[in-house]
Structure 1
Amino acid sequence: AGVYRVLIDAARTTGVVMFLCGAATAASYMITLADLPSELARSMGPLLENPMLFMAVVALFLLAVGMVMDLTPTILILAPVLAPLAGKAGIDPVYFGFVFIFIGCLGLLTPPVGTVLNVVAGVGRLRMEPVIRGVMPFLAVYFAMLALLIVFPSIVLAPLRLMF
């Protein structure tokens, strides 16, 4: 009976995740079909001239999105829109991808959705408040690291250049 219950729960969870992925993929397709990246590039002209400013604005936007949406739908919906803009701003695609995922992971730790916070609270049978209080020092370090990544892209790119 225990294995059956686990399989049912796993099927439900997988169904929810697959539904979210399907909806995100459909939204991404519609965004691409509407040529949203080109429209945004036209409207964001001055912002694309300064890569650091572009990354700071994208970081703030992704942080806001990450606070209310899980990482997988964020990637599926926003990466096809933001990656071409980053290319037009002269940002290395590997660097952009790294920062994109870094910010997405930060979103998993930030309230109100904070998927990781909910998992920790559930597994530890804790209320959300002590979990949030416990993660705050780590969030401060995470934000400092994000600022360094935006100001100094070579933190990501220099090790890659040494290897390849």
Structure 2
Amino acid sequence: MTQPCEQSLGAADSDLGEVDDLLRAVVADGFTVYLCGGQREPEAIVATYTWPDHVDFVVIKDRHDVAAARARCTPDWDVFAPERVIWSYHGHARWALRAILDLHHPEHPDAPDDDHAAPAALRVPGEFLRSVSVRTPRPGLVARRAMRLRPA
């Protein structure tokens, strides 16, 4: 049975509302946000949270093409072209954003730790990097993720 366009559109609107809520949760968790390709209508959005030895990050190209990952902090780590990660997820925004929000603290015994090649979905094309705006977290938010996910 098919749905009328209005009902389908309503479902899409609901989906976008949930994705917006999850994006707000990422920002509220203390992530730094990079708007790539223009501040008003970015081609990609990258959000990062830096731990002492790791970085959690999300690359959003559209709501069906979102990659989330954790990498080890290294001197040559590139937020727009990571080469190695220890955890990654690629899929719809709803699931990728939930996955990064629920990822264990790096010191948790169940935290991922197996190094592997970063999937291509984590790379931001060079043409999107001609204009990048950075939004740092408000004071007090940076510690929120660490406190929320601290190991028991």
- The structure with the greater share of residues assigned to strand is 2
Category of TM-score, reference length = shorter chain: 0.3 to 0.5
TM norm structure 2 = 0.33
TM norm structure 1 = 0.31
Specify the structure having the higher radius of gyration (Cα).
1
- The structure with the greater share of residues assigned to helix is 1
Q: Which has the higher contact order (CA 8 A, sep 6+)?
A: 2
